[in-house]
Structure 1
Amino acid sequence: MAKGVFRIKVYFRRFARRFPWFAFVIRSFVMFSAAFGGAYGFISGSTSKDSGYDPHAFAIGASFLFALACVALATMSIRMRFMGRRMRKLAAHNEALVDRNWELKEAEERARSLFEAQGDLIVIRNSEGCITFVNDAYCALAEQSREALIGSRFELTLLEQGDIANEPNGTSMHDQKIATATGPRWIAWREGLVRIDAGQPAELQCVGRDVTDRTQTERALGEARDHANAANRAKSRFLAMASHEIRTPLNGILGMSGLLLDTPLTPEQTTYAKAVKTSGDALLSLIEELLDYSKIEAGKIDLEHRPFALAGLIEDITELLAPRAQARNLEIAAYVDERLPLTVMGDAARLRQVLLNLAGNAIKFTAAGGVALIVEPGIWPNEISFLVRDTGIGIAPDAQQRIFREFEQADEGTARHYGGTGLGLSISERIIKRMNGRITLQSELGAGSTFEVSVPLAASDSGTATFMAPDLTSLSVMLVAPQTIEASLMALRLGRWGAQTCTVSDIAVAQALLPERSWHAVMIDRALGADAAEQLANAAIPHALRRIVLFTPAMRHELQPATPSAFTGYLVKPLRATSLAARLTLQTDSPTIAADDPLDRDPATPEPTEAMASSLSILVAEDNEINALLMRSLLTRLGHKPVVTTNGDEALESWLTSDSAGTPYDLVLMDIQMPKLDGIEVTKRIRAREAGQRVRRTPILALTANALVEDRYACFEAGMDGFLMKPLDRDKLAEALKGLAKTRHVAA
């Protein structure tokens, strides 16, 4: 009721303030009624018979009274106006306070409703730890009423305390596991000091939120992460063990097949031995892909940043793949843009791995035509683009993204027909991304493919490459060759060097063009036919100073150096830029091909092993009988004296015996995994013995099938000097022994 009357008054005041003329009329009417009533009563009393009425006195009195009344009325009117203004201000202020009070009450109700609706636990304690405020959620969790909690020191039952984190503003956060009627719950608390009333000490406000589900999820994720890490470690151990167990017999297969091919065999036996070696090489490549994928997946791939010759890398790749391509009657050629730096900074081994994979796939999926490796500047500064183009089967649009996935190929028919793990492109893409580069693909089904690898490679000033492109300006060069990849890239290179190049694919047309000008050189591809090439060279003698024949390594045995020839030189395909430049600028008047011409050698073909100045005494520690026999045969053929032991104890005893007799071994080839003492422990004991007594340090090379980086670190930490991977590469072994023999000879 009172609240209703109060609201009516407020509404009336608002109406009066909005319409001030209405209040003035009411006030004037009341004042007029009062004055009229008083005057009428006074006049009526004074005119009665017994009043002793004196007109003069009455007039004076009435005038005086009237004057006083006027003054009073004027004073009252002024006062009323002043008071009216004050009252209106007070009323407006009071009304604003009332409205503000309503707003505060409504805000308080909303805040309280919000706090209660959120379900967060809110408790405020004073400096003595007594509770001064709790919300319904805290009461429900504590299973006590608000009246019982206020003023008490109640604490929830603590089961486990989490770590406490402090913020710069003084707020602390921590998790607690508490006991409740429904079971243990995790509460995330946020605590901070707040001041409730001015002049009063600050109180501690604690806001808690139930994070049981989040905590359980985090713990489940942590357990899953631990299980995944354990699975990765188990996978790494399995890969290491499987790699070792596979590589050990594979070393014997490849090594023995190589030795077998070096012996006199019938054609049928040679075919079978080559098949064994080819199958072993294929198995080795599959193992390498799986290990590379495992390393990349585990994030253990490390990139080097060293200078390397760009053109040399590309030409080495083409020459390495040339035998495979030429065996399939395919051409493979390379071209490096002259605008690129000779030496760049990067990881040559990983880049070589990617380009070998792409070019090897191009050869595998190409039946006719060839493969081209083109290197040119990229679209960004310091970026170099490597293009691998082929004329193969092409890739369908829907398969172009799928082939970069793990264990995926273009289609099932491709996998069955061509084989492979489907990991090569996935590994290549991850390596290039690790180099901050990218791989793109343009292909059309049945029309070949182009893979473009773009990698940032900065120029290096520390390189040793000094190739200078020859100046062939105004010189005429005739290129007589089929319209192939090699011919087109050679014509492009000659044009960049300034030569006026004429490319002809017909012998008769070439003979007709010979008399038209004086030719600096005539280059003839022997693929047009041996007799036709020789005939054209004879016809070009009066018109061309240089007559050069081009052929593949397979045609080398057909050359007869002692037989007079019209050719002044020859080049082996795929061509190297340095060899081509040397042939076109070499001053020679020889009418025949020199048998000892250094330019006729295929740069990719290793030099014959030179006779050792002296044989080495080598201790071999190898527990596998086949591999021990292989090492004995290889070392004996290389002119060394091997001593083979089958376990670590025998190796250590043999080394100690030779050391005590004053005839130490020149080299120890140490297998890592052996019965009794392993290679790591034997090496440590040898190094400990040397540190105490010896001056000369025995070189120790690890022989292991373990390909993981951790194994290499273990070898070097034990004191080994090098690392030879199984299956053993005979060329690498011969190179290592050759370098050691030279070092010993110089020291002697």
Structure 2
Amino acid sequence: MKKRIGNRRDFWLTIISGSGLVILVVMLGVSFFITITDAETNSRKRFLRKQTELAATEIEIAIDRFEVNAEGVIDYLEDEDLDEDDFGGDLTKVVKEVFNNYPGLIDTVWINLQDSVIYLTRTERNDFIRNGAHEGIPTNGSRDFEYFSNGNELGFEIYFSLNPVKFSKDFVTHYYLHKEGTKLLMLGEELRNLDQGQQGRSIIEIDDLSFQQIQSDVAIGVIGLYEIDWKKGPTSGSGVLVQYPFDFGDFYENAALLFMIESESVTSGIYSTYLLLFSGFVFLLIGTVIFFTLSLKNRLESQKLLEESAEEISELFDQQNILLKELRGFVFFHNFKGEITRVSDEVEEILGHPKSEFLEAFRGEEGHMDALNVKSLVKEALSQYKSFIDLEYDFEKPDGLKVRLRIFEKLVFDEVGRFNGGLGICTDITAQFQINQELIESGKRLQNLIDNIPDIIFTYDNNGIVLEAHVKDQKFLKSRSDAAIGVSLFDLVPIEQREQTQFAFNLARKTEQIQTVDLKLRDGEDNQYFEVRFFPLDTKRMMSISKDITSQRIWEKGLVEAMNAADQASRAKSEFLANMSHEIRTPMNGLLGIIDLLDQTTLDAEQLQYLDIIKNSGNSLLNIIKDILDYSKIEAGKIEINSTVFCPADELEKQVNIFYGLAQKKGVILTTIYEPETKELMEGDVEKINQVILNLVGNAVKFTPKGGTVKVNLEIENISGEINYLKCSVKDSGIGIPAEEIPRLTDPFYQVESSSSRSYQGSGLGLAIAKKIVELMGGELSISSEQGKGALFAFSVILKKAPIIFSENPISEMPKRRNWNGMAREYPMRIILAEDNDLNLQLMTLILEQLGYDFEVAKNGQEALDMVQQKEFDIILMDVQMPVLNGLEAAKEIRKLEGKEKIFIVGLSANVFEEDQKKAVDAGMDDYLTKPIRLVALAEKIKEYSLKRSSSEMT
């Protein structure tokens, strides 16, 4: 019994709880549906209002322009300079232009020309005609359309017959409302239908109360949104109507545009589906309750199902809470006074103000500025009969952080339409706002970038069809860019270049890497060159960027021509310098040779003094010639680096020793300082390093007065492994150099004191050559000085540490010799002198006779070749430039003779370039002496080869 009572109690409890659950779900679903419907209705109303506003504004602007153009026709008639021809075709053209600018607005135009009346109109076939109006200008009541007239002081009149309905209908055609939507035009107290396909007046009837309200709002120029009842023949219903008053010029008063949609269309579609699904869910829930009621006996299973349902509901609520938290918002409620009655706890997280401050800010008329702003917006919405507020604005938190907020508030009214308050949600949309702003700015930046790129940009599909084109400041292509849309790229390219263009395009698509092709396009007689780069934009599109390289091609052509001209000039310069060297050194050979011979004779003190002056002058002239040729070789890039193994410290001592005599004579203290590392062997061009040292030390001694000092410092700095820097500095206490002159010291032929009476002589090429040599060896030359306090010249070059090699037979230096007279007895040699110049032959004869040698003379290379074949000789002193057979050709022929391999050939020439010496070696010569031939140099050479011959005979 107790069990039965308990089961009954459980039964009724189940029915009651199930029924309550069903009712609760139904209420929740209906409430949710109402909320969604209201939101969609409000959205549709906003859309409808915006469409109406845009359409009405367009019509109003068009009518304003029409009035201006109509007045333009009057102005044309008032022109005092018009003649009879102007009232003919030109007047028709002016009126026709007004017709064309406002299609559908003008039906007919009558013009009173005083002596006649004409009318102009457009037929149904769109033909524009002009005829005389025999019946005159019709009165306003003779036609169905409105009139606009205007006269002038000259007596002309013009009348326009207007069709406002057709004109407005054409304007609103592209504004889509809904398949059940309606477009109306109010002119005065009448409504005209603007829907396409319906002529005449509107067949929709609006309830009287709403129509009176609409007329009242239009009369005072107030925008209106109405909930109306309508009737269309046998059908009727309710709808939402928006009216937007606008100015229809001086033709009509109280003009307005009205757009309406049926209320049923708002809640159709997805909302009907929602009701169907929700009804199904309710019935399913009812069935579930009945099922649980009928299955009371299976209590354990029922409880289990209930627990599972509770867990699902709990999970759903948790998901909703997470969703609200992700929205970063809070909910608020306020009464009709604007006072906040409730607000969720998230307000402090969003606004940074405590809940109490938020509530206090909305009390009374004096509150927070943002609260007052919200109140004013509510009042404005109420004045405009709005049922909601939707806005965004920037808010600054107490800590100074600015956020972007969105407020959506539903305004609540009672049954009689009184405002009761509102409920809304405020969300922090800073992140979304910033993203949108960044997207806008990114789009602007991209567009600005494209607009300012001077190159030509095309986009294509994967088949090469042009989709878009961007051409800026390209007169040649701008006229073709629009016509290229939809055309194949390969049809735009000349036939002879299509294959390579298609290959580059397909390769870029396949490899997804940039491919470049050069195109030549012809415009009349002119050619334009473009560098086109193809690359994939995405999986479906390709892009090309084309750069106009016409000027570059012209520049390259000019550069090649300039380079060829420079090469020709350089070759001409080299040939000129070689010829000048030969011509200058030939007389110098005789001059310095005689000086050397004279120096070997017995002279008194006065004669020795004169001879010394002549010798110094000749040596100075020779040094100047040598400097000019050296700089020319460097400038032409024909100087080469010849590395040998040497000891830097020893070489420095040798070069400085040359100036010890001059330093002592001037009373200058010359000292050297070098680090122990400089005693190690290095690899480098020692001759060129010595040339720089000689130049710097020579200048220092020359420009240092008596009692001054010159210090030469040498050090080694390791860079990496075997690579080292050789650093040398020369510091003097001489006259110094003005600061403004230092940058120009290394310019060729530049001298600080350049007057004809300057104190120090020289070519002005020494430092220029030194700088070029140092830079050629990977170093730099630096100069610092102060006028009156001396100067410091320093340079550094890159050297490589030399490997240590132990020699079993070291060669000892030959002892120096002062007097070479009669040396033939010590170093006998059988000599041929091959020379064609009489002056040089006379000089060489005197030198060889003073040295004690007998010799035979050949006037050309052929004679020298014949002598070698007839007799035995030890050495040939061979001039390079001779008639019949020159010295180089003769040397080649001698080297071909059997048994003559041991004869020594020493070349004699006034050409001093390295390539000339290389040619001599290649021809088979053993050595090379440059003119002028000095007695000591020739004696040293004969002695050297005499010793070599003796050594070879002993072996």
Q: What is the TM-score when the length of structure 2 is the normalising length?
A: 0.48
Q: Which residue in 2 is equivalent to 1:298?
A: 636
* 2:426 is equivalent to residue 213 of structure 1: no
2:623 matched to 1:285? yes
Measured against aligned partners, the alpha-carbon deviations of 1:468-525 in whole angstroms (never above 9, x if no partner) come to xxxxxxxxxxxxxxxxxxxxxxxxxxxxxxxxxxxxxxxxxxxxxxxxxxxxxxxxxx
Q: Please say if residues 619 and 644 of structure 1, whose CA atoms lie closer than 8 Å, have aligned partners that are also in contact.
A: yes
The reply on whether 1:316 has 2:654 as its aligned counterpart is yes
Shift of 1:744: 2.2
> Which of 925, 931, 941 is 1:736 aligned to?
941
1:185 aligns with 2:523: no
Pick from 678, 690, 701: which aligns with 2:886?
Answer: 678
The answer as to whether partners of 2:832 and 2:864 remain within 8 angstroms in 1 is yes
Secondary structure of the equivalent of 2:759? helix
Q: Deviation at 1:615?
A: 2.2
Q: Is 1:647 equivalent to 2:860 in the alignment?
A: yes
Distance 1:609-1:186 versus aligned 2 partners, 3 A rule: farther
Within the alignment, does 1:699 sit opposite 2:904 as a pair?
A: yes
Shift of residue 390 of structure 1?
3.8
CA distance in 2, matches of 1:167, 1:629: 82
Q: Equivalent residue for 2:210?
A: none
What does 1:685-724 correspond to in 2, within 5 Å? 685-690=893-898, 694=899, 696-724=901-929
Contact (CA 8 Å) 1:309, 1:343: kept in 2 or not? yes
Do 1:121 and 1:138's aligned partners in 2 also have CA atoms closer than 8 Å? no
Task: Give identity over the alignment, percent.
Answer: 31
Which residue does the alignment assign to 1:622? 835
Amino acid at match of 2:734: G
Contact 2:643–2:685 (CA<8 Å) still a contact in 1? yes
In the alignment, the residues of structure 1 paired with residue 544 and residue 853 of structure 2 have an alpha-carbon distance, to the nearest angstrom, of 82
CA distance in 2, matches of 1:673, 1:745: 31
1:317 to 1:429, Cα distance in 2 relative to 1, 3 A = same
Deviations 1:202-244 (A, max 9, x none): x664432222223222332333233223322222222222222
Q: Does 1:368 align with 2:319?
A: no
1:78 aligns with 2:421: no
Letter in 2 for 1:644: V
Inter-CA distance 304–101: structure 2 relative to 1 (3 Å threshold): closer
Q: SS where residue 645 of structure 2 aligns?
A: strand
How much is the aligned-residue C-alpha RMSD, in angstroms?
Answer: 4.7
Tell me the amino acid that sits aligned with residue 683 of structure 1: A
Contact 1:161 1:177 in 2 (8 A): no
Is 1:341 the counterpart of 2:679? The answer is yes
Is the partner of 1:669 in helix, strand or coil? Answer: strand
Q: In structure 2, do the counterparts of structure 1 residues 433 and 187 end up closer, same or farther at CA, with 3 Å as the change threshold?
A: closer
The Cα shift of 1:284 comes to: 0.8
* Equivalent of residue 401 in structure 1, options 713, 732, 743: 743
Letter in 2 for 1:321: F
Q: Match for 1:651: what amino acid?
A: A
- 1:607/1:320 CA distance change after superposition, 3 Å: farther
Counterpart of 1:469 in structure 2 is none
For 1:187 and 1:312, how far apart are their aligned partners in 2?
Answer: 62
Partner of 1:225: 563
Partner of 2:659, secondary structure, is: helix
1:345-375 deviation digits (Å, cap 9, x = unpaired): 4332222211211222223223412554533
Q: Which moved more, 1:249-258 or 1:731-740?
A: 731-740
Deviation at 1:195, TM superposition (A): 5.5
2:577 partner letter: L
Question: Which secondary structure does the structure 2 equivalent of 1:246 belong to?
Answer: helix
Equivalent of 2:849, from 622, 629, 636? Answer: 636
Deviations 1:431-472 (A, max 9, x none): 23334444444544334444344456566563899xxxxxxx
Quote how far apart the aligned CAs of 1:254 are.
0.7
CA separation in 1, counterparts of 2:802 and 2:535? 59
Residues 1:139 and 1:411: Cα distance change in structure 2 (over 3 Å) = closer
In terms of mean alpha carbon deviation, does 609-618 or 677-686 score higher? Answer: 609-618
- 1:172 aligns with 515
Aligned partners of 2:781 and 2:796 also within 8 Å: yes
Q: Hey, what's the Cα distance between the residues in 2 that align with 1:306 and 1:166?
A: 57
Q: Which moved more, 1:670-679 or 1:395-404?
A: 395-404
Aligned equivalents of 2:447, 2:599: Cα separation in 1: 92
Deviation of the 1:179 alpha carbon = 1.0
Tell me if structure 2 keeps the 8 A contact 1:159–1:179. no
Counterpart of 2:628 in 1: which secondary structure? Answer: helix
Find the residue that maps to 2:902 and give its secondary structure. coil
Which position in structure 1 is the counterpart of 2:299? none
Which residue of structure 2 aligns with residue 12 of structure 1? none
Counterparts of 1:119 and 1:186, CA distance in 2: 15
* Partner Cα distance (1:457, 1:103) in 2: 59
Q: Any conservation in 2 of the 1:617–1:665 contact (CA below 8 Å)? A: yes
SS of 2:908 mapped into structure 1: strand
- 5+ residue gaps in structure 2? 1-17, 47-431, 502-506, 808-813
Whole-Å separation in 2 of the counterparts to 1:294 and 1:131 = 59
Distance 1:715 1:682 in 2: 11
Code of the aligned partner of 1:259: L
d(CA) in 2 for partners of 1:166 and 1:239? Answer: 59
Matched, 1:354 2:562: no
How many Å separate the matches in 2 of 1:464 and 1:389? 37
Write the deviation string for residues 624-652 of structure 1: whole angstroms up to 9, x where unpaired: 21112222222233233322222223223
SS in structure 1 at match of 2:619? helix
The one of 205, 220, 240 equivalent to 2:578 is 240
Distance across 2 between alignment mates of 1:162 and 1:277: 73
Change (3 A) 1:741 1:169: farther
Is 1:621–1:645's contact at 8 Å kept on the other side of the alignment? yes
CA contact (8 A) 1:388 1:451 kept: yes
Q: How far apart are 1:123 and its partner, in Å? A: 4.7
The separation in 2 between residues aligned to 1:415 and 1:604, in whole angstroms, is: 40
Aligned residues: 530
For 1:703 and 1:111, the matched residues in 2 are separated by 75
1:36 aligns with none
Q: Which is bigger in relative contact order (C-alpha 8 A, separation at least 6)?
A: 1
Change (3 A) 1:645 1:462: same
2:249 corresponds in structure 1 to: none
Secondary structure in 2 matching 1:689 = coil
Check the 8 A contact 1:371/1:388 in 2, yes or no: no
| Corresponding letter in the other structure for 2:889 | E
Contact 2:734–2:789, Cα closer than 8 Å, also in 1: yes
Indicate the SS of the match to 1:702.
Answer: strand
Q: Any residues of structure 2 matched to 1:384-533 within 5 Å, and which?
A: 385-413=727-755, 416-455=758-797, 462=804
CA distance, structure 1, for counterparts of residue 917 and residue 37 of structure 2: 97
**What does 1:71-150 correspond to in 2, within 5 Å?**
75=26, 77-78=28-29, 81=32, 118=453, 120-123=455-458, 134=469, 140-142=478-480, 145-146=483-484, 149=487
User: For the Cα contact (< 8 Å) 1:191–1:204, is it kept in 2?
Assistant: yes
**How far apart in 1 are the matches of 2:827 and 2:928?**
23
More off after superposition, 148-157 vs 413-422:
148-157
How far off its partner does 1:281 sit?
Answer: 0.9
State the SS of the aligned residue for 1:227: helix
